[in-house]
Amino acid sequence: MAAPIVEVTALKVILELPSGTDLSDRDLQRELRSRLPADAACADLGAIRELAGYLASLGYLMVRRDEPGLYRIP
């Protein structure tokens, strides 16, 4: 699982977006890279997808089944 700082930052990114916004795994990765120190482990797209799945299980994201790697803010 991602480091707590990465999880919190991802949640902050998600909560700043309006409901109904589509967000790809690459968008989330780019936002994390721009907000976190270079040594934070957020470069791996697989880890970003795992984190997005975790946040979806908590209800912060909805997985768009029609396009892999695409999520919607509920």
Domains contained in the chain, CATH given: 4-72 (1.10.10)
Query: How confident is the model at residue 1, as a pLDDT?
Result: 60
Query: How confident is the model at residue 5, as a pLDDT?
Result: 86
Query: How confident is the model at residue 14, as a pLDDT?
Result: 96
Render each residue's pLDDT in the chain as its tens digit; 74 residues.
668 888 999 999 999 999 999 999 999 999 999 998 877 766 688 888 999 999 999 999 999 988 889 999 99
Query: How confident is the model at residue 41, as a pLDDT?
Result: 63
Q: What gap in Å lies between CA 36 and CA 50, rounded to an integer?
A: 18
Query: How confident is the model at residue 8, as a pLDDT?
Result: 92
Query: How confident is the model at residue 68, as a pLDDT?
Result: 84
The contacts found for 35-38 with CB under 8 angstroms, 24 or more apart, are 35/9, 36/5, 36/6, 36/9
Name the nearest CA neighbour of 54 among 27, 19, 22, 14.
14
